[in-house]
Amino acid sequence: MDFALELKRHVTRVERGLDLHLPAAATRPARLHGAMRYSLEAGGKRVRPVLVLATAELCGLTGDEALPAAVAIECVHTYSLIHDDLPCMDNDDLRRGRPTVHKAYDEATALLAGDALLTHAFALLATAYATQPTLAHALVCELADAAGSQRLIGGQMEDLLAEKKADATPAELEFIHLNKTAAMLEAALVLGGLVGVAGQTPVTAPAALRQVGRHLGLAFQIMDDVLDATADSATLGKTAGKDAKADKTTYVKLHGVDAARRIAQEHTDAALTALGTLPGDKSFLTALVLAMATRRS
Ligand code: GRG
């Protein structure tokens, strides 16, 4: 397996899916649809949709069955980035190597583009899988749970609350990471698994996928903190050094860069152990988990 080639194959499919499943930029109101595509088309690593496609393949699917689910999760992820960058949240100017949506457009348009991407994700799941209602139901429940008030949005809320305190505890930090970051990575693997087992009864994704996502998510966020402390903005495509500037509690602040890297490695190992319990050819997913642990952006 050539990892770079396989990754490119999946990313190309994701880009095609995004173009196919999003309203055209010229759709009225063009300003809104232009802003939705502006942020989606800026790129990013596409980790979540690639996980959806690769997990569906692990379950034996060879076609584009999982593509709408992959597009849906990238829509939700991108909405969360647009809203996170707003002045009322992280107030950032740079995302995916471009001015953030509220800088390129304006705050109201950024807010609405995020709202529209979130709504579109669920409309896409409901329509693309309409002929498989049990699957559609499971996909909508999974994504709604991951993006909801007790996971992604709840994690963001606790993150904002933690910023107002001198020090967050390690337990509070883990809650934030598990929900703000790991929930969507977990959901990516589970969505791929659900599409992969859609022909079976019940439509339940293998439990190990959730464990892979949980540990991958924790490793991913700890490395995000390490990169914020060690990389530059040009490499990251977003503003570097923000955590230290804001004196934010992160794994780096609590444990230092070297120990944070070690903890991330432990979670990577745990993700690989969980992955190892699943049947099928796991070579691409294994390489992806490892690549996430050594990423530079
Ligand atoms: C506004 C509901 C709401 C949530 C915001 C996404 C988010 C939650 C905050 C952004 C800051 C942050 C560090 C989030 C943790 C998850 C994370 C590392 C997001 C960035 O994901 P990448 O690196 O981004 O996969 P790309 O651009 O590559 O898709």
Q: Is the pLDDT of residue 275 over 80?
A: yes
Phi, psi of 63 (to 5 degrees): -100, -155
**What is the C-alpha separation between 89 and 80, in angstroms, rounded?**
11
Q: Is the pLDDT of residue 249 over 90?
A: no
pLDDT, one tens digit per residue, over 41-80 is: 988 999 999 999 999 999 999 899 999 999 999 999 999 9
Pick the closest to residue 264 from 211, 221, 202, 296 (CA basis).
221
Does the Cβ of 180 fall within 6 Å of ligand 1? yes
Between 206 and 135, whose confidence is greater? Answer: 135
pLDDT, one tens digit per residue, over 70-127 is: 999 999 999 999 999 999 999 999 999 899 999 999 999 999 999 999 999 999 999 9
What is the percentage of the chain residues whose pLDDT exceeds 70? 100
Cβ contacts of 247 within 8 Å, gap of 6 or more: 253
Amino acid (1-letter code) at residue 83 = H
Does 202 sit behind a cis peptide bond, omega within 30 degrees of 0 on the bond before it? Answer: yes
Between 213 and 235, whose confidence is greater? Answer: 213
Phi, psi of 85 (to 5 degrees): -80, -15
Say how many Å lie between the CA of residue 55 and the centre of ligand 1: 21
Please state the atom number of ligand 1 nearest to the C-alpha of residue 224.
18
According to the model, what pLDDT value does residue 231 have? Answer: 84
Please report the domains of the chain, with CATH numbers, ordered by start residue: 3-293 (1.10.600.10)
**183-196 helix and 207-230 helix, angle to the nearest 10 degrees:** 140
Atom 17 of ligand 1: nearest residue by CA position: 181
DSSP state of 98: E
CB 40 within 8 A of CB 106: no
Say how many Å lie between the CA of residue 81 and the centre of ligand 1: 5
Mean predicted confidence (pLDDT) in 162-167: 81
Does the Cβ of 45 fall within 6 Å of ligand 1? yes
Say how many Å lie between the CA of residue 265 and the centre of ligand 1: 20
pLDDT, one tens digit per residue, over 166-211 is: 788 889 999 999 999 999 999 999 999 999 989 787 778 889 999 9
Does the Cβ of 260 fall within 6 Å of ligand 1? no
Q: Which of 222, 224, 250 to mutate to test the pocket of ligand 1 (most atoms within 8 A of CB)?
A: 224
Say how many Å lie between the CA of residue 255 and the centre of ligand 1: 22
CB 239 within 8 A of CB 228: no
Taking every pair of Cα atoms in the chain, the longest distance, rounded to a whole number of angstroms, is 52
Does the Cβ of 49 fall within 6 Å of ligand 1? no
**What is the C-alpha separation between 189 and 56, in angstroms, rounded?**
8
Residue 21: band (very low, low, confident or very high) from pLDDT cuts 50, 70, 90? very high
Please state the atom number of ligand 1 nearest to the C-alpha of residue 85.
10
Between 167 and 265, whose confidence is greater? Answer: 265
Say how many Å lie between the CA of residue 95 and the centre of ligand 1: 10
Q: Is the pLDDT of residue 256 over 80?
A: yes
